[in-house]
């Protein structure tokens, strides 16, 4: 059985992961609207991955014999200034999620909840990859700037990277 503090934090993390999915779906829609199908596809895959992350915690809570409490998901932006803005916000968002994961891991450690620590270790490792991907693509977008042919090629490259 999970302690109340850990259970509450896990339920909050389910909400945060679903919100992340929603963020990426909104970014995917923006990219589609700008005729950037590769970036849109990458964001859509990220949407699916974030849903899977939420369900992993959801299932864990249920496996522990506890109640999952689903809360409303906050709205997300529908518009961005530029492709660079999308990727800056992507990196910032992943850094925020990393902070949430670290906080939950620290709570599990404090409560000596070893099973939750083990679960959260997977997320800690996953976040290193998430931040690396966002940072790499952001730097590539910065390098090409607004050069339309370069954006075309990076869009195709990013789209193939998530297939």
User: In angstroms, how far is the first alpha carbon of the chain from the final one?
Assistant: 39
What average pLDDT score do residues 127-138 get? 96
- Give 110-119 pLDDT, tens digit per residue: 999 999 999 9
Domain count, the chain: 1
pTM for the model: 0.92
3-state secondary structure of 148: helix
The per-residue pLDDT for range 45-96, each reduced to its tens digit, is 999 999 999 999 999 999 999 999 999 999 999 999 999 999 999 999 999 9
- DSSP conformational letter for 69: -
The reported pLDDT for the residue numbered 100 is 98
Provide the CATH number for the domain around residue 123.
1.20.1260.10
Map tokens 């990219």 to a residue: 31
pLDDT band at 159 (very low <50, low <70, confident <90, very high): confident
Give 144-151's long-range contacts (Cβ < 8 A, gap of 24+).
Answer: 146/82, 151/36, 151/83
The candidate with the shortest Cα–Cα distance to 15, out of 59, 63, 57, 65, is 57
- Confidence class of residue 161 from pLDDT cuts 50, 70 and 90? low
How many CB atoms neighbour CB 64 within 10 A? 17
- In this prediction, residue 135 carries a pLDDT of 97
Domain extent, residue 66, equals 4-161
């Amino acid at each position: 059985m999970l302690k109340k503090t850990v259970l509450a934090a896990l339920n909050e993390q389910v909400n945060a992961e679903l919100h992340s999915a929603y963020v990426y779906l909104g970014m995917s829609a923006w990219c589609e609207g700008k005729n950037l199908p590769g970036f849109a596809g990458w964001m859509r895959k990220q949407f699916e991955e974030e849903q899977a992350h939420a369900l992993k915690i959801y299932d864990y809570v249920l496996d522990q014999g506890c109640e999952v409490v689903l809360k409303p998901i906050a709205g997300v932006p529908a518009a961005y200034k530029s492709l660079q803005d999308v990727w800056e916000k992507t990196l910032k968002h992943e850094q925020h999620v990393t902070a949430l994961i670290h906080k939950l891991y620290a709570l599990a450690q404090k409560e000596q909840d070893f099973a939750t620590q083990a679960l959260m270790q997977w997320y800690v490792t996953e976040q290193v990859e998430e931040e690396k991907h966002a940072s790499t693509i952001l730097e590539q977008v910065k390098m090409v700037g607004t050069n339309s042919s370069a954006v075309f090629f990076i869009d195709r490259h990013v789209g193939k990277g998530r297939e």
